[in-house]
Structure 1
Amino acid sequence: MRSMGTGPGQQRSRPSRVAVMRQSSISKDRTYSGTLMSGFCVRIGAVHFQWMKLSKQGHAMISMDEGKWLVPFKGRGSSAYTQLNFLWQHENVFVMDNHRAAMWCWLQRIKPTSSHSLFHIDQHYDTRTSHMNEWLKKVPSCWDIPIEDYLSLTVAHPAIGEIPLLSWDNYLSIYLELFGRHLNSVNFATHRVGERPKQEIWEHDVWDVPENLDYWLKPELAPWIMNVDLDYFFCDASDDQPPQRFLSPDFISGVFDVIARKRNDGTIGVVTIALTSTKDLTGGWGPAVETARLGLSRLGIDFALP
């Protein structure tokens, strides 16, 4: 095994803030007063301080306003199965609450009929195939469609009528069925929940991920799809308790630090992150958003929902 240089037990510093000073007019009575203003601004007498959040790499953090709300935030409702409450993008990073939109995001940044690779980090395989023949009949002949059309694709269910074609447990199996022959390497780090992919895959144990992720994401197999579900960092608790985040902040930061480096050097072509903010998988919106803020801060994104 090859070490990525920082294991889950090592302490990492939080994003820092820096003061950038510029001269402003001196008040007539030269009284020094401080007022905290939006954007981390403080005016003290003759000196104006502009505070900016910085990423770990020392760059200014990207705010949510600097990205695109491809699906505007609808509120903290259910994220189960097919409900998508938001989809946000900055460059090749896409964040959503439900993984069903991930395939559309990949198709915006990856040419699926050219050689590429996939790394899937998730509690679940997301590769249900129970009605694959019916699903494939409903996929569009051209995937150059807006997100609204993608989400509106439907398929007939024998008991309840038309249902969304793409859900949180079949978007990946459909992608593998359509484009799997173009994948150089298919990697899964999961809790091995759900139907295992029919394709040949590499499976990785959770404890091996921080130390080896950098090594597994080989540049010669690029571009990589990096697909992360935050429920990976959670596990079931006792019967009367919500799921608990069982992996430490250092573990999570270590994983996202590798993703940041590999994204910056071009090895990763697209990053999709799902919050899966359901009470039975992550404990709900609170824990899911907190984990998203931690992970995305390592990518230089100051994640916050309206």
Structure 2
Amino acid sequence: MNTTQGFWIKEPIDIRNKKTGPYNVNFIYKQGNVFIMDNHLAAAYCWIQELDKNENLNFFHIDQHEDLCSDAPVKSYIKIKDTSHISLNEFLSMRYQSGEKQAFSFENYILQTQRLFPNWFRKCCFACHYYVVCEELDMIPQLNNINLLGSISNASKWGYATLERDKDNRWIINIDLDYFFYSNAFQMLTNEYIQFLFEDLKNAMEESKKIAIVTIALSPECCGGWDKVIPIANYIAKELGLDFKL
């Protein structure tokens, strides 16, 4: 049970009528080391606020998509590296191409963070709807929706690391609820599957100190809309002992 009081970093307003898209962040909720957001790009903002910039971490990504574009030049967001705190508005206002393009989107936030803090991505585990290839990341064997079950607690206990020096690193757990959907419309995996996965995450958080942060994105446009994904988000929050509810 998460006994820390939760709060809104950005509070949702008339959320069912809002669009998320690549760049808009309509809400972020924090309770303990768990963050829930609509747009996955906000995960990078949460990592920057929460994590020790010098700590070696491993990275676990569960998502329909890999989110591994890296289109913005480093100079457009390099100030993050040496800034002790940056507001959400400042984070979202960083731009390039003469101010025409926002530096962070839901497609590029992982590698752009990795460019600044490669030590947060010592070992990377991906569970996506397809096989992921990325030369910039040290990838361990990828997981399908069968062997994903139980894998979070396994990672927190044994590390999944092929190098001895990385097996004791804490983990960034990064989840997009669109993983449970197909073709941006249909829930592909059952509520029982979702329950099992998040029970495993809860157990890992309670039984070990290896979970540094959990970031969870709703990505409504990839889940058939707000009405389909909000009940899942509310259920997951309850399972994790969070006060979050939309």
Shift of 1:107: 2.1
Question: Is 1:102 the counterpart of 2:43 in the alignment?
Answer: yes
| Aligned match of 1:226 | 173
Q: 1:292 to 1:125 in 2, by over 3 A?
A: same
Provide the C-alpha distance between the structure 1 equivalents of 2:53 and 2:216, rounded to a whole number of angstroms: 19
| Aligned match of 2:82 | 142
Question: Is 1:274 the counterpart of 2:217 in the alignment?
Answer: yes
Q: Is the 8 A contact 1:155 1:162 kept in 2?
A: yes
Q: Which moved more, 1:194-203 or 1:183-192?
A: 194-203
Which string of whole-angstrom CA distances, capped at 9 and with x for unpartnered residues, describes residues 194-239 of structure 1? Answer: 8746322122112111143321333643321111000001012xxx
Provide the C-alpha distance between the structure 2 equivalents of 1:261 and 1:151, rounded to a whole number of angstroms: 34
Which string of whole-angstrom CA distances, capped at 9 and with x for unpartnered residues, describes residues 242-277 of structure 1? Answer: 611111112111111121122223210111110001
How is 1:284-299 mapped onto 2 (pairs within 5 angstroms)?
Answer: 284-299=225-240
Provide the C-alpha distance between the structure 1 equivalents of 2:82 and 2:127, rounded to a whole number of angstroms: 31
Work out which of the two has the higher radius of gyration on C-alpha atoms and give 1 or 2. Answer: 1
- Structure 1: give runs of 5+ residues left out of the alignment: 1-58, 237-241
Question: Is 1:187 the counterpart of 2:128 in the alignment?
Answer: no
Provide the C-alpha distance between the structure 2 equivalents of 1:185 and 1:199, rounded to a whole number of angstroms: 8
How is 1:204-283 mapped onto 2 (pairs within 5 angstroms)?
Answer: 204-217=143-156, 218=158, 220-236=167-183, 243-264=185-206, 265-278=208-221, 281-283=222-224
Q: Which moved more, 1:144-153 or 1:92-101?
A: 144-153
Question: Is 1:304 the counterpart of 2:242 in the alignment?
Answer: no
Shift of 1:80: 0.7
Q: Is the 8 A contact 1:222 1:268 kept in 2?
A: no
Q: Is the 8 A contact 2:237 2:245 kept in 1?
A: no
Q: Which has the higher strand share?
A: 1
Residue identity matched to 1:272: T
Provide the C-alpha distance between the structure 1 equivalents of 2:129 and 2:200, rounded to a whole number of angstroms: 21
TM-score by length of 1: 0.69
Q: Is the 8 A contact 1:75 1:85 kept in 2?
A: no
1:176 alignment partner, one of 114, 134, 142: 114
Q: 1:224 to 1:256 in 2, by over 3 A?
A: same
Q: Which moved more, 1:281-290 or 1:253-262?
A: 253-262
Shift of 1:143: 3.7
Q: 1:193 to 1:81 in 2, by over 3 A?
A: farther
Q: 1:125 to 1:259 in 2, by over 3 A?
A: same
Provide the C-alpha distance between the structure 2 equivalents of 1:198 and 1:114, rounded to a whole number of angstroms: 19
Q: Is the 8 A contact 1:126 1:169 kept in 2?
A: yes
Question: Is 1:200 the counterpart of 2:138 in the alignment?
Answer: yes
SS of equivalent to 1:88: strand
SS of equivalent to 1:113: coil
Q: Is the 8 A contact 2:6 2:244 kept in 1?
A: no
Aligned residues: 231
Alignment RMSD (CA, Å): 2.3
Shift of 1:138: 1.1
Q: Is the 8 A contact 2:8 2:29 kept in 1?
A: yes
Q: Is the 8 A contact 1:124 1:193 kept in 2?
A: no
SS of equivalent to 1:225: strand
Q: Is the 8 A contact 1:293 1:302 kept in 2?
A: no
Question: Is 1:83 the counterpart of 2:24 in the alignment?
Answer: yes
Q: Is the 8 A contact 2:58 2:171 kept in 1?
A: yes
Residue identity matched to 1:142: D
Provide the C-alpha distance between the structure 2 equivalents of 1:62 and 1:296, rounded to a whole number of angstroms: 13
Which string of whole-angstrom CA distances, capped at 9 and with x for unpartnered residues, describes residues 99-135 of structure 1? Answer: 1111121122221332111101101111102x35x2x
